[in-house]
Structure 1
Amino acid sequence: LKGAYKTVSDIFYRTTPCRSVTPPVYIKKSSLNYNRRTMDACFSAFDKNSDGYLDLEEFKLLTRALFRNDRGKIYNLEEDKLREIFNVFDCNADGYIDREEFVFCWNHWIKIIVRPIAAFLIVDVQNDFISGTLNISNCSAQQNGLEVVEPINHLLDTVQFDVVFYSLDWHPSNHVSFIDNIGQREIHPSSPVTAENAQTYDTVIFAGPPPMKQRLWPRHCVQDTWGSELHKDLKVVENSIKVYKGTNPDVDSYSVFWDNKKMTDTTLCAQLRMRNATDIYICGLAYDVCVGATAVDALAIGYRTILLDDCSRGVDLLDIEKTKNTVIKNNG
Protein backbone atom coordinates (compact mmCIF):
# COMPACT_ATOMS: atom_id res chain seq x y z
CA LEU A 1 0.00 0.00 0.00
CA LYS A 2 2.87 2.34 0.85
CA GLY A 3 4.53 1.58 -2.47
CA ALA A 4 1.28 2.13 -4.35
CA TYR A 5 0.78 5.49 -2.65
CA LYS A 6 4.36 6.46 -3.53
CA THR A 7 3.55 5.70 -7.17
CA VAL A 8 0.64 8.14 -7.02
CA SER A 9 2.86 10.79 -5.42
CA ASP A 10 5.39 10.34 -8.23
CA ILE A 11 2.63 10.74 -10.81
CA PHE A 12 1.38 13.92 -9.16
CA TYR A 13 4.77 15.57 -8.91
CA ARG A 14 6.64 14.23 -11.93
CA THR A 15 4.38 13.45 -14.86
CA THR A 16 2.83 15.57 -17.56
CA PRO A 17 -0.97 15.94 -17.82
CA CYS A 18 -2.66 12.63 -18.46
CA ARG A 19 -3.84 13.35 -21.97
CA SER A 20 -0.26 13.66 -23.21
CA VAL A 21 0.75 10.23 -21.92
CA THR A 22 1.05 7.36 -24.39
CA PRO A 23 1.49 3.63 -23.73
CA PRO A 24 5.06 2.42 -23.10
CA VAL A 25 6.96 2.24 -26.37
CA TYR A 26 8.55 -1.15 -25.69
CA ILE A 27 5.30 -3.16 -25.47
CA LYS A 28 4.46 -5.30 -28.48
CA LYS A 29 1.26 -4.53 -30.41
CA SER A 30 -0.31 -7.84 -29.39
CA SER A 31 0.41 -7.01 -25.76
CA LEU A 32 -1.14 -3.58 -26.20
CA ASN A 33 -4.33 -5.14 -27.56
CA TYR A 34 -4.46 -7.52 -24.60
CA ASN A 35 -3.71 -4.66 -22.26
CA ARG A 36 -6.55 -2.58 -23.74
CA ARG A 37 -9.07 -5.40 -23.39
CA THR A 38 -8.05 -6.01 -19.80
CA MET A 39 -8.19 -2.31 -19.02
CA ASP A 40 -11.66 -1.94 -20.56
CA ALA A 41 -12.90 -4.96 -18.61
CA CYS A 42 -11.57 -3.46 -15.38
CA PHE A 43 -13.26 -0.13 -16.05
CA SER A 44 -16.58 -1.79 -16.86
CA ALA A 45 -16.42 -4.00 -13.77
CA PHE A 46 -16.28 -0.99 -11.45
CA ASP A 47 -18.55 1.31 -13.46
CA LYS A 48 -21.49 -0.05 -11.50
CA ASN A 49 -24.14 2.24 -13.00
CA SER A 50 -22.73 1.88 -16.54
CA ASP A 51 -22.65 5.64 -17.11
CA GLY A 52 -19.14 5.60 -18.60
CA TYR A 53 -17.53 7.23 -15.55
CA LEU A 54 -16.08 6.20 -12.20
CA ASP A 55 -17.24 8.33 -9.31
CA LEU A 56 -15.51 8.38 -5.94
CA GLU A 57 -17.53 5.47 -4.54
CA GLU A 58 -16.86 3.30 -7.58
CA PHE A 59 -13.17 4.22 -7.39
CA LYS A 60 -13.22 3.20 -3.73
CA LEU A 61 -14.45 -0.26 -4.74
CA LEU A 62 -11.56 -0.48 -7.20
CA THR A 63 -9.00 0.34 -4.50
CA ARG A 64 -10.54 -2.28 -2.20
CA ALA A 65 -9.99 -4.85 -4.94
CA LEU A 66 -6.40 -3.69 -5.47
CA PHE A 67 -5.30 -3.48 -1.86
CA ARG A 68 -5.85 -6.93 -0.41
CA ASN A 69 -3.55 -9.78 0.46
CA ASP A 70 -3.64 -13.34 -0.88
CA ARG A 71 -6.04 -14.31 1.91
CA GLY A 72 -8.52 -11.67 0.88
CA LYS A 73 -7.85 -9.22 3.71
CA ILE A 74 -8.63 -5.68 2.50
CA TYR A 75 -6.34 -2.77 3.35
CA ASN A 76 -8.63 0.25 3.40
CA LEU A 77 -7.36 3.64 2.32
CA GLU A 78 -7.99 6.57 4.61
CA GLU A 79 -10.64 8.87 3.19
CA ASP A 80 -8.26 11.78 2.59
CA LYS A 81 -5.74 9.49 0.85
CA LEU A 82 -8.49 8.00 -1.29
CA ARG A 83 -9.68 11.43 -2.41
CA GLU A 84 -6.12 12.60 -3.04
CA ILE A 85 -5.48 9.63 -5.33
CA PHE A 86 -8.84 10.10 -7.05
CA ASN A 87 -8.05 13.76 -7.72
CA VAL A 88 -4.73 12.86 -9.35
CA PHE A 89 -6.55 10.85 -12.00
CA ASP A 90 -9.57 13.16 -12.29
CA CYS A 91 -7.56 15.39 -14.61
CA ASN A 92 -10.37 17.80 -15.51
CA ALA A 93 -11.57 18.00 -11.89
CA ASP A 94 -15.20 17.26 -12.78
CA GLY A 95 -15.63 14.73 -9.98
CA TYR A 96 -15.46 11.69 -12.27
CA ILE A 97 -12.81 9.54 -13.95
CA ASP A 98 -13.78 9.03 -17.58
CA ARG A 99 -12.36 6.36 -19.87
CA GLU A 100 -9.63 8.62 -21.22
CA GLU A 101 -8.51 9.50 -17.71
CA PHE A 102 -8.68 5.83 -16.78
CA VAL A 103 -6.10 5.00 -19.46
CA PHE A 104 -3.63 7.15 -17.54
CA CYS A 105 -4.69 5.58 -14.24
CA TRP A 106 -4.28 2.08 -15.69
CA ASN A 107 -0.88 2.57 -17.31
CA HIS A 108 0.73 4.56 -14.53
CA TRP A 109 -0.78 3.06 -11.40
CA ILE A 110 -3.00 -0.01 -11.59
CA LYS A 111 -0.80 -2.00 -13.96
CA ILE A 112 2.27 -1.21 -11.86
CA ILE A 113 0.50 -2.52 -8.76
CA VAL A 114 -0.94 -5.71 -10.22
CA ARG A 115 1.84 -6.52 -12.71
CA PRO A 116 5.10 -5.19 -11.28
CA ILE A 117 8.33 -5.81 -13.14
CA ALA A 118 11.08 -6.36 -10.59
CA ALA A 119 14.76 -5.65 -11.11
CA PHE A 120 17.39 -6.95 -8.67
CA LEU A 121 20.46 -4.71 -8.54
CA ILE A 122 23.51 -6.14 -6.76
CA VAL A 123 25.97 -3.34 -6.13
CA ASP A 124 29.76 -3.76 -6.15
CA VAL A 125 30.17 -7.14 -4.43
CA GLN A 126 33.80 -7.12 -5.53
CA ASN A 127 36.97 -8.58 -4.09
CA ASP A 128 38.58 -5.31 -3.06
CA PHE A 129 35.60 -4.38 -0.86
CA ILE A 130 35.58 -7.79 0.84
CA SER A 131 39.20 -8.82 1.32
CA GLY A 132 41.25 -6.47 -0.83
CA THR A 133 42.62 -2.95 -0.69
CA LEU A 134 39.33 -1.35 0.43
CA ASN A 135 38.12 -4.13 2.70
CA ILE A 136 35.18 -2.44 4.44
CA SER A 137 35.83 -4.42 7.63
CA ASN A 138 38.77 -2.04 8.15
CA CYS A 139 36.45 0.98 8.08
CA SER A 140 34.84 2.48 11.18
CA ALA A 141 31.68 0.32 11.09
CA GLN A 142 33.85 -2.82 10.92
CA GLN A 143 31.22 -4.70 8.94
CA ASN A 144 32.12 -7.84 7.01
CA GLY A 145 31.36 -7.48 3.32
CA LEU A 146 31.44 -11.24 2.79
CA GLU A 147 28.24 -11.52 4.84
CA VAL A 148 26.15 -10.18 1.95
CA VAL A 149 27.00 -13.07 -0.37
CA GLU A 150 24.91 -15.82 1.24
CA PRO A 151 21.63 -13.84 1.55
CA ILE A 152 22.03 -12.48 -1.98
CA ASN A 153 22.56 -15.99 -3.33
CA HIS A 154 19.49 -17.15 -1.41
CA LEU A 155 17.36 -14.47 -3.07
CA LEU A 156 18.73 -15.39 -6.48
CA ASP A 157 17.81 -19.04 -5.82
CA THR A 158 14.33 -18.42 -4.44
CA VAL A 159 12.94 -15.25 -6.04
CA GLN A 160 12.16 -14.99 -9.73
CA PHE A 161 13.25 -11.46 -10.57
CA ASP A 162 12.46 -10.20 -14.05
CA VAL A 163 16.00 -8.94 -14.54
CA VAL A 164 19.20 -9.08 -12.48
CA PHE A 165 21.97 -6.48 -12.61
CA TYR A 166 25.48 -6.58 -11.16
CA SER A 167 27.28 -3.26 -10.87
CA LEU A 168 31.05 -3.02 -10.75
CA ASP A 169 33.33 -0.19 -9.72
CA TRP A 170 35.63 -0.10 -12.75
CA HIS A 171 38.32 2.51 -12.24
CA PRO A 172 41.25 3.45 -14.47
CA SER A 173 44.58 3.52 -12.66
CA ASN A 174 44.67 7.35 -12.60
CA HIS A 175 41.25 7.69 -10.96
CA VAL A 176 40.51 10.84 -8.98
CA SER A 177 39.35 8.95 -5.87
CA PHE A 178 42.69 7.20 -5.21
CA ILE A 179 44.68 8.87 -2.45
CA ASP A 180 47.95 7.95 -4.13
CA ASN A 181 46.85 10.02 -7.16
CA ILE A 182 46.28 13.21 -5.17
CA GLY A 183 49.36 14.88 -6.61
CA GLN A 184 48.01 14.54 -10.16
CA ARG A 185 45.36 17.28 -9.74
CA GLU A 186 45.35 20.80 -8.36
CA ILE A 187 43.71 21.31 -4.97
CA HIS A 188 41.28 24.23 -4.68
CA PRO A 189 42.21 26.95 -2.13
CA SER A 190 38.94 26.29 -0.26
CA SER A 191 39.81 22.63 0.36
CA PRO A 192 39.75 21.81 4.10
CA VAL A 193 42.72 19.48 3.56
CA THR A 194 45.88 20.11 1.55
CA ALA A 195 47.47 17.54 -0.72
CA GLU A 196 50.42 17.25 1.67
CA ASN A 197 48.22 16.54 4.71
CA ALA A 198 45.54 14.41 3.07
CA GLN A 199 44.89 10.97 4.51
CA THR A 200 42.70 8.08 3.45
CA TYR A 201 38.96 8.83 3.85
CA ASP A 202 39.56 12.61 4.00
CA THR A 203 37.50 14.85 1.74
CA VAL A 204 39.34 17.37 -0.41
CA ILE A 205 38.22 19.88 -3.01
CA PHE A 206 39.91 19.65 -6.39
CA ALA A 207 40.24 22.84 -8.42
CA GLY A 208 38.44 21.51 -11.47
CA PRO A 209 36.97 23.45 -13.16
CA PRO A 210 34.47 23.31 -11.66
CA PRO A 211 35.66 22.77 -8.07
CA MET A 212 34.75 19.26 -6.95
CA LYS A 213 34.55 17.60 -3.54
CA GLN A 214 36.12 14.18 -3.44
CA ARG A 215 36.50 11.63 -0.68
CA LEU A 216 39.86 9.88 -0.88
CA TRP A 217 39.95 6.09 -0.91
CA PRO A 218 42.69 3.49 -1.15
CA ARG A 219 43.38 2.36 -4.69
CA HIS A 220 40.64 -0.16 -5.47
CA CYS A 221 38.75 -1.94 -8.24
CA VAL A 222 41.23 -1.04 -10.96
CA GLN A 223 39.97 -2.31 -14.30
CA ASP A 224 40.82 -5.93 -15.16
CA THR A 225 42.46 -6.70 -11.81
CA TRP A 226 41.55 -9.36 -9.24
CA GLY A 227 40.24 -6.64 -6.94
CA SER A 228 37.68 -5.50 -9.51
CA GLU A 229 36.21 -8.98 -10.01
CA LEU A 230 32.96 -10.09 -8.41
CA HIS A 231 33.56 -12.32 -5.40
CA LYS A 232 33.97 -15.95 -6.43
CA ASP A 233 31.17 -17.14 -4.12
CA LEU A 234 28.60 -14.70 -5.47
CA LYS A 235 26.16 -16.43 -7.78
CA VAL A 236 26.02 -14.87 -11.25
CA VAL A 237 22.77 -15.86 -12.93
CA GLU A 238 22.25 -16.52 -16.60
CA ASN A 239 21.11 -13.55 -18.72
CA SER A 240 22.10 -11.07 -16.02
CA ILE A 241 23.53 -7.69 -16.96
CA LYS A 242 26.75 -6.09 -15.73
CA VAL A 243 26.89 -2.31 -15.34
CA TYR A 244 30.29 -0.63 -15.09
CA LYS A 245 30.72 2.68 -13.26
CA GLY A 246 33.54 4.98 -12.22
CA THR A 247 35.25 4.63 -15.58
CA ASN A 248 35.94 8.37 -16.00
CA PRO A 249 39.30 9.15 -14.35
CA ASP A 250 38.22 12.67 -13.38
CA VAL A 251 34.94 12.03 -11.55
CA ASP A 252 33.80 9.39 -9.09
CA SER A 253 30.59 7.42 -9.48
CA TYR A 254 28.84 6.15 -6.36
CA SER A 255 25.41 5.70 -7.93
CA VAL A 256 24.94 2.97 -10.51
CA PHE A 257 22.81 5.45 -12.48
CA TRP A 258 25.19 8.41 -12.93
CA ASP A 259 28.58 9.76 -11.97
CA ASN A 260 28.70 12.02 -8.91
CA LYS A 261 28.43 15.19 -11.01
CA LYS A 262 25.55 13.70 -13.04
CA MET A 263 27.39 14.49 -16.25
CA THR A 264 27.28 10.95 -17.66
CA ASP A 265 24.88 8.09 -17.09
CA THR A 266 25.59 4.38 -17.21
CA THR A 267 23.62 1.82 -19.20
CA LEU A 268 21.30 1.15 -16.24
CA CYS A 269 18.61 3.74 -17.06
CA ALA A 270 18.22 2.50 -20.62
CA GLN A 271 18.18 -1.15 -19.56
CA LEU A 272 15.45 -0.53 -16.97
CA ARG A 273 13.33 1.45 -19.44
CA MET A 274 13.72 -1.22 -22.09
CA ARG A 275 12.27 -3.78 -19.68
CA ASN A 276 9.55 -1.46 -18.31
CA ALA A 277 10.83 -2.07 -14.78
CA THR A 278 8.62 -0.77 -11.97
CA ASP A 279 10.37 -2.01 -8.82
CA ILE A 280 14.08 -2.10 -7.97
CA TYR A 281 15.54 -4.22 -5.17
CA ILE A 282 18.98 -2.86 -4.28
CA CYS A 283 21.72 -4.31 -2.08
CA GLY A 284 25.46 -4.85 -1.83
CA LEU A 285 28.50 -2.77 -0.89
CA ALA A 286 28.80 -0.29 0.57
CA TYR A 287 25.48 0.51 2.23
CA ASP A 288 26.19 4.18 2.94
CA VAL A 289 28.12 4.88 -0.26
CA CYS A 290 27.22 3.23 -3.56
CA VAL A 291 24.16 1.28 -2.41
CA GLY A 292 22.64 4.33 -0.74
CA ALA A 293 23.42 6.70 -3.62
CA THR A 294 21.82 4.27 -6.06
CA ALA A 295 18.68 3.85 -3.94
CA VAL A 296 18.24 7.62 -3.60
CA ASP A 297 18.59 8.08 -7.36
CA ALA A 298 16.13 5.26 -8.07
CA LEU A 299 13.57 6.94 -5.80
CA ALA A 300 14.17 10.31 -7.44
CA ILE A 301 13.55 8.82 -10.89
CA GLY A 302 10.28 7.35 -9.64
CA TYR A 303 10.96 3.64 -9.21
CA ARG A 304 9.46 1.79 -6.28
CA THR A 305 12.69 1.12 -4.43
CA ILE A 306 13.51 -1.51 -1.82
CA LEU A 307 16.90 -1.35 -0.09
CA LEU A 308 17.65 -4.82 1.26
CA ASP A 309 19.12 -4.20 4.70
CA ASP A 310 20.34 -7.72 5.46
CA CYS A 311 22.02 -7.99 2.04
CA SER A 312 24.08 -4.82 2.50
CA ARG A 313 27.07 -3.78 4.60
CA GLY A 314 28.60 -0.35 5.01
CA VAL A 315 31.48 1.88 6.01
CA ASP A 316 30.22 4.12 8.83
CA LEU A 317 27.39 3.32 11.27
CA LEU A 318 26.13 6.90 11.43
CA ASP A 319 26.12 7.23 7.65
CA ILE A 320 24.36 3.87 7.32
CA GLU A 321 21.58 5.13 9.59
CA LYS A 322 21.36 8.40 7.65
CA THR A 323 21.08 6.47 4.41
CA LYS A 324 18.33 4.27 5.81
CA ASN A 325 16.37 7.29 7.07
CA THR A 326 16.71 9.08 3.73
CA VAL A 327 15.33 6.10 1.84
CA ILE A 328 12.42 5.70 4.27
CA LYS A 329 11.66 9.43 4.16
CA ASN A 330 11.33 9.19 0.38
CA ASN A 331 8.90 6.25 0.59
CA GLY A 332 11.49 3.57 -0.07
Structure 2
Amino acid sequence: MSPPTPENSALAIIDLQNDFCPPHGALAVEGGRDIAPAINKLLEIPFALKLATRDFHPPNHISFASQHSGKNPFVDSHTITSPKNEKETQTTLLWPDHCVQNTPGCELIPELNTSALDLVVEKGTDIRVESYSAFGPPFRNPPVAMSGVDTTLRKHGIEHVFVCGLALDFCVKSTAVDAAEFGYSTYVIEEATRGIDCSDSGRTKARADMEKVGVRVIRLDGLELAAIRK
Protein backbone atom coordinates (compact mmCIF):
# COMPACT_ATOMS: atom_id res chain seq x y z
CA MET A 1 0.00 0.00 0.00
CA SER A 2 1.27 3.47 -0.83
CA PRO A 3 2.01 5.99 1.96
CA PRO A 4 -0.59 8.57 3.03
CA THR A 5 -1.17 11.43 0.60
CA PRO A 6 -3.93 14.02 0.25
CA GLU A 7 -5.36 11.95 -2.61
CA ASN A 8 -5.69 8.62 -0.75
CA SER A 9 -6.55 9.65 2.82
CA ALA A 10 -9.82 10.32 4.64
CA LEU A 11 -10.70 11.94 7.94
CA ALA A 12 -13.52 10.34 9.96
CA ILE A 13 -14.91 12.46 12.81
CA ILE A 14 -16.98 10.23 15.05
CA ASP A 15 -20.10 11.41 16.91
CA LEU A 16 -19.06 14.90 17.99
CA GLN A 17 -22.65 15.55 19.09
CA ASN A 18 -24.36 17.57 21.78
CA ASP A 19 -25.48 14.52 23.74
CA PHE A 20 -21.89 13.29 24.00
CA CYS A 21 -20.55 16.63 25.27
CA PRO A 22 -20.70 18.50 28.59
CA PRO A 23 -22.33 20.33 30.17
CA HIS A 24 -25.79 19.08 29.25
CA GLY A 25 -25.25 15.95 27.15
CA ALA A 26 -27.35 12.92 28.07
CA LEU A 27 -24.24 10.73 27.67
CA ALA A 28 -21.51 13.33 28.10
CA VAL A 29 -17.87 12.32 27.68
CA GLU A 30 -15.53 14.20 29.98
CA GLY A 31 -13.62 16.75 27.91
CA GLY A 32 -15.60 15.86 24.80
CA ARG A 33 -16.19 19.44 23.72
CA ASP A 34 -12.53 20.32 24.28
CA ILE A 35 -11.34 18.38 21.23
CA ALA A 36 -13.23 20.57 18.74
CA PRO A 37 -10.28 22.96 18.11
CA ALA A 38 -7.96 20.05 17.29
CA ILE A 39 -10.53 18.54 14.95
CA ASN A 40 -11.10 21.87 13.21
CA LYS A 41 -7.34 22.00 12.61
CA LEU A 42 -7.55 18.53 11.08
CA LEU A 43 -10.33 19.77 8.80
CA GLU A 44 -7.85 22.29 7.35
CA ILE A 45 -5.69 19.43 6.07
CA PRO A 46 -6.44 18.50 2.43
CA PHE A 47 -7.88 15.02 2.95
CA ALA A 48 -9.57 13.57 -0.13
CA LEU A 49 -12.68 12.95 1.98
CA LYS A 50 -13.79 14.50 5.27
CA LEU A 51 -16.76 12.81 6.89
CA ALA A 52 -18.51 12.99 10.23
CA THR A 53 -20.84 10.47 11.79
CA ARG A 54 -23.65 10.98 14.20
CA ASP A 55 -25.76 8.61 16.21
CA PHE A 56 -29.33 9.08 14.97
CA HIS A 57 -31.42 6.81 17.14
CA PRO A 58 -35.17 6.25 17.05
CA PRO A 59 -36.72 6.91 20.48
CA ASN A 60 -37.18 3.18 21.16
CA HIS A 61 -33.66 2.08 20.25
CA ILE A 62 -32.51 -1.28 21.60
CA SER A 63 -29.44 0.25 23.27
CA PHE A 64 -31.53 2.40 25.63
CA ALA A 65 -31.96 1.05 29.16
CA SER A 66 -35.44 2.60 29.14
CA GLN A 67 -36.50 -0.08 26.62
CA HIS A 68 -35.63 -2.96 28.98
CA SER A 69 -37.72 -3.45 32.10
CA GLY A 70 -35.74 -3.21 35.31
CA LYS A 71 -32.46 -2.37 33.54
CA ASN A 72 -30.26 0.62 34.37
CA PRO A 73 -27.93 2.63 32.13
CA PHE A 74 -24.18 2.19 32.61
CA VAL A 75 -24.84 -0.88 34.79
CA ASP A 76 -26.80 -3.49 32.89
CA SER A 77 -26.06 -5.14 29.55
CA HIS A 78 -28.19 -6.66 26.81
CA THR A 79 -27.34 -9.31 24.25
CA ILE A 80 -28.57 -8.44 20.76
CA THR A 81 -29.11 -11.21 18.22
CA SER A 82 -28.71 -10.47 14.54
CA PRO A 83 -32.18 -10.22 12.97
CA LYS A 84 -30.81 -12.18 10.00
CA ASN A 85 -28.65 -14.83 11.74
CA GLU A 86 -29.36 -16.11 15.22
CA LYS A 87 -25.78 -17.38 15.53
CA GLU A 88 -24.43 -13.81 15.52
CA THR A 89 -24.80 -11.90 18.79
CA GLN A 90 -23.48 -8.72 20.38
CA THR A 91 -23.53 -7.97 24.10
CA THR A 92 -23.63 -4.25 24.80
CA LEU A 93 -23.83 -1.99 27.81
CA LEU A 94 -27.17 -0.21 28.04
CA TRP A 95 -27.24 3.58 27.84
CA PRO A 96 -29.49 6.49 28.80
CA ASP A 97 -31.64 7.74 25.94
CA HIS A 98 -29.33 9.79 23.73
CA CYS A 99 -28.96 11.24 20.23
CA VAL A 100 -32.66 10.71 19.53
CA GLN A 101 -33.61 11.62 15.97
CA ASN A 102 -34.60 15.25 15.42
CA THR A 103 -33.67 16.41 18.92
CA PRO A 104 -30.94 18.95 19.80
CA GLY A 105 -28.92 16.16 21.40
CA CYS A 106 -28.32 14.41 18.08
CA GLU A 107 -26.90 17.51 16.36
CA LEU A 108 -23.18 18.00 15.78
CA ILE A 109 -21.78 20.51 18.25
CA PRO A 110 -21.73 24.13 17.05
CA GLU A 111 -17.98 24.40 17.67
CA LEU A 112 -17.31 21.95 14.84
CA ASN A 113 -16.62 23.53 11.45
CA THR A 114 -19.26 21.57 9.60
CA SER A 115 -18.82 23.68 6.46
CA ALA A 116 -15.55 21.79 5.84
CA LEU A 117 -17.28 18.39 5.81
CA ASP A 118 -17.97 16.45 2.63
CA LEU A 119 -20.43 14.02 4.20
CA VAL A 120 -22.38 13.33 7.39
CA VAL A 121 -23.24 9.67 8.01
CA GLU A 122 -26.15 8.74 10.28
CA LYS A 123 -25.80 5.50 12.22
CA GLY A 124 -27.79 3.62 14.83
CA THR A 125 -31.00 4.22 12.92
CA ASP A 126 -32.23 0.61 13.07
CA ILE A 127 -34.01 -0.01 16.37
CA ARG A 128 -33.01 -3.70 16.34
CA VAL A 129 -29.22 -3.36 16.38
CA GLU A 130 -26.41 -1.29 17.89
CA SER A 131 -23.90 0.40 15.61
CA TYR A 132 -20.85 1.78 17.37
CA SER A 133 -18.85 1.64 14.16
CA ALA A 134 -19.22 4.13 11.32
CA PHE A 135 -19.28 1.12 9.00
CA GLY A 136 -22.34 -0.45 10.62
CA PRO A 137 -23.37 -3.06 13.20
CA PRO A 138 -21.08 -6.04 13.87
CA PHE A 139 -23.44 -8.46 12.12
CA ARG A 140 -21.88 -9.32 8.78
CA ASN A 141 -23.12 -12.81 7.89
CA PRO A 142 -25.23 -11.51 6.24
CA PRO A 143 -24.70 -7.74 6.71
CA VAL A 144 -27.34 -5.84 8.69
CA ALA A 145 -27.99 -2.08 8.32
CA MET A 146 -24.56 -1.22 6.94
CA SER A 147 -23.91 2.51 6.51
CA GLY A 148 -22.30 2.57 3.08
CA VAL A 149 -19.08 4.11 4.45
CA ASP A 150 -16.92 1.37 2.98
CA THR A 151 -18.44 1.87 -0.47
CA THR A 152 -17.91 5.63 -0.21
CA LEU A 153 -14.27 5.29 0.82
CA ARG A 154 -13.52 2.92 -2.04
CA LYS A 155 -15.31 5.20 -4.52
CA HIS A 156 -12.93 8.00 -3.49
CA GLY A 157 -9.82 5.82 -3.77
CA ILE A 158 -9.13 5.93 -0.03
CA GLU A 159 -6.38 3.74 1.38
CA HIS A 160 -5.74 5.50 4.72
CA VAL A 161 -8.38 6.41 7.31
CA PHE A 162 -7.66 8.86 10.14
CA VAL A 163 -10.17 8.59 12.99
CA CYS A 164 -11.00 11.04 15.79
CA GLY A 165 -14.00 12.07 17.91
CA LEU A 166 -16.09 10.36 20.58
CA ALA A 167 -15.85 8.10 22.37
CA LEU A 168 -12.44 6.48 22.20
CA ASP A 169 -13.44 3.25 23.94
CA PHE A 170 -16.63 2.68 21.98
CA CYS A 171 -17.45 4.30 18.63
CA VAL A 172 -13.94 5.54 17.79
CA LYS A 173 -12.42 2.16 18.62
CA SER A 174 -15.11 0.21 16.76
CA THR A 175 -14.74 2.41 13.69
CA ALA A 176 -10.96 2.09 13.69
CA VAL A 177 -11.05 -1.68 14.18
CA ASP A 178 -13.56 -2.06 11.34
CA ALA A 179 -11.52 0.20 9.05
CA ALA A 180 -8.44 -1.95 9.64
CA GLU A 181 -10.39 -5.16 9.11
CA PHE A 182 -11.86 -3.74 5.86
CA GLY A 183 -8.30 -3.31 4.62
CA TYR A 184 -7.54 0.36 5.24
CA SER A 185 -4.38 1.63 6.93
CA THR A 186 -5.97 3.13 10.01
CA TYR A 187 -4.83 5.77 12.48
CA VAL A 188 -6.45 7.22 15.62
CA ILE A 189 -5.36 10.75 16.49
CA GLU A 190 -4.67 10.77 20.20
CA GLU A 191 -5.28 14.44 21.04
CA ALA A 192 -8.51 14.52 19.03
CA THR A 193 -10.47 11.91 20.96
CA ARG A 194 -11.75 11.28 24.49
CA GLY A 195 -13.13 8.16 26.16
CA ILE A 196 -16.07 7.37 28.41
CA ASP A 197 -13.55 5.60 30.62
CA CYS A 198 -11.03 8.42 30.86
CA SER A 199 -8.71 6.61 33.27
CA ASP A 200 -5.20 5.61 32.29
CA SER A 201 -6.24 1.96 32.31
CA GLY A 202 -9.26 2.72 30.11
CA ARG A 203 -7.13 4.51 27.53
CA THR A 204 -4.50 1.76 27.65
CA LYS A 205 -7.10 -0.95 27.04
CA ALA A 206 -8.69 0.92 24.13
CA ARG A 207 -5.27 1.45 22.58
CA ALA A 208 -4.34 -2.21 23.00
CA ASP A 209 -7.61 -3.38 21.44
CA MET A 210 -6.95 -1.22 18.39
CA GLU A 211 -3.26 -1.97 18.01
CA LYS A 212 -4.04 -5.68 18.13
CA VAL A 213 -5.65 -5.40 14.68
CA GLY A 214 -3.07 -3.02 13.25
CA VAL A 215 -4.51 0.39 14.10
CA ARG A 216 -1.83 2.99 14.82
CA VAL A 217 -2.37 5.65 17.50
CA ILE A 218 -0.63 8.83 16.36
CA ARG A 219 -0.11 12.43 17.41
CA LEU A 220 -1.24 15.60 15.67
CA ASP A 221 2.39 16.41 14.90
CA GLY A 222 3.12 12.90 13.61
CA LEU A 223 4.75 12.12 10.28
CA GLU A 224 1.58 10.54 8.89
CA LEU A 225 -0.38 13.79 9.06
CA ALA A 226 2.64 15.82 7.97
CA ALA A 227 2.69 13.86 4.72
CA ILE A 228 -0.90 14.90 3.98
CA ARG A 229 -0.33 18.53 4.95
CA LYS A 230 2.29 18.74 2.21
Fold similarity call, TM over 0.5: yes
When residues 207 and 329 of structure 1 are mapped into structure 2, their CA distance, relative to the original with a 3 A threshold, is closer
- In the TM superposition, residue 260 of structure 1 has moved relative to its aligned partner by 3.3
Partner of 1:328: 211
When residues 310 and 238 of structure 1 are mapped into structure 2, their CA distance, relative to the original with a 3 A threshold, is closer
Which residue identity lines up with residue 177 of structure 1 in the other structure? Answer: S
More helix by share: 1
Identity, in percent, stands at 33
Which residue identity lines up with residue 134 of structure 1 in the other structure? Answer: L
Does residue 205 of structure 1 match 2:78?
A: yes
- In the TM superposition, residue 328 of structure 1 has moved relative to its aligned partner by 2.4
SS of alignment partner, residue 136 of structure 1: coil
Deviations 1:130-164 (A, max 9, x none): 03111123xxxxxx10111010011212x111110
Which residue identity lines up with residue 107 of structure 2 in the other structure? Answer: E
Range that drifts further, 282-291 or 260-269: 260-269
Partner of 1:309: 190
Q: TM (normalized to structure 2)?
A: 0.81
Deviations 1:218-257 (A, max 9, x none): 1000011100000001011346101111001111100000
Q: Which has the higher contact order (CA 8 A, sep 6+)?
A: 2
Does residue 154 of structure 1 match 2:68?
A: no
Measured in 2, the distance between the counterparts of 1:258 and 1:114 equals 25
Partner residue of 1:167 out of 30, 53, 78 = 53
Does residue 246 of structure 1 match 2:139?
A: no
Partner residue of 1:120 out of 5, 8, 11 = 11
When residues 207 and 161 of structure 1 are mapped into structure 2, their CA distance, relative to the original with a 3 A threshold, is closer
- Equivalent pair of 1:203/1:213 in contact (CA under 8 Å): no
Which residue identity lines up with residue 268 of structure 1 in the other structure? Answer: V
Measured in 2, the distance between the counterparts of 1:205 and 1:322 equals 22
Q: TM (normalized to structure 1)?
A: 0.57
Measured in 2, the distance between the counterparts of 1:170 and 1:257 equals 14
Structure 2 unaligned blocks of 5 or more: 216-230
Partner of 1:267: 148
SS of alignment partner, residue 113 of structure 1: coil
Partner of 2:115: 237
Measured in 1, the distance between the counterparts of 2:180 and 2:120 equals 21
Deviations 1:157-211 (A, max 9, x none): 2x1111100000000000011111113xxxxxxxxxxxx3x32112433475746
Measured in 2, the distance between the counterparts of 1:240 and 1:129 equals 22
- Equivalent pair of 1:296/1:327 in contact (CA under 8 Å): yes
Matches within 5 A, 1:1-332: 109=1, 112-113=2-3, 117-131=8-22, 132-137=25-30, 144-157=31-44, 159-183=45-69, 196=70, 198-206=71-79, 210=86, 212-238=90-116, 240-262=118-140, 263-316=144-197, 317=199, 318-332=201-215
After superposition, the CA RMSD in angstroms is: 1.9
Aligned length: 202
Asked which structure has the greater CA Rg, the reply is 1
When residues 207 and 304 of structure 1 are mapped into structure 2, their CA distance, relative to the original with a 3 A threshold, is closer
SS of alignment partner, residue 214 of structure 1: strand
More strand by share: 2
Structure 1 unaligned blocks of 5 or more: 1-108, 138-143, 184-195
When residues 207 and 168 of structure 1 are mapped into structure 2, their CA distance, relative to the original with a 3 A threshold, is closer
When residues 310 and 331 of structure 1 are mapped into structure 2, their CA distance, relative to the original with a 3 A threshold, is same
When residues 229 and 217 of structure 1 are mapped into structure 2, their CA distance, relative to the original with a 3 A threshold, is same
- In the TM superposition, residue 323 of structure 1 has moved relative to its aligned partner by 1.7
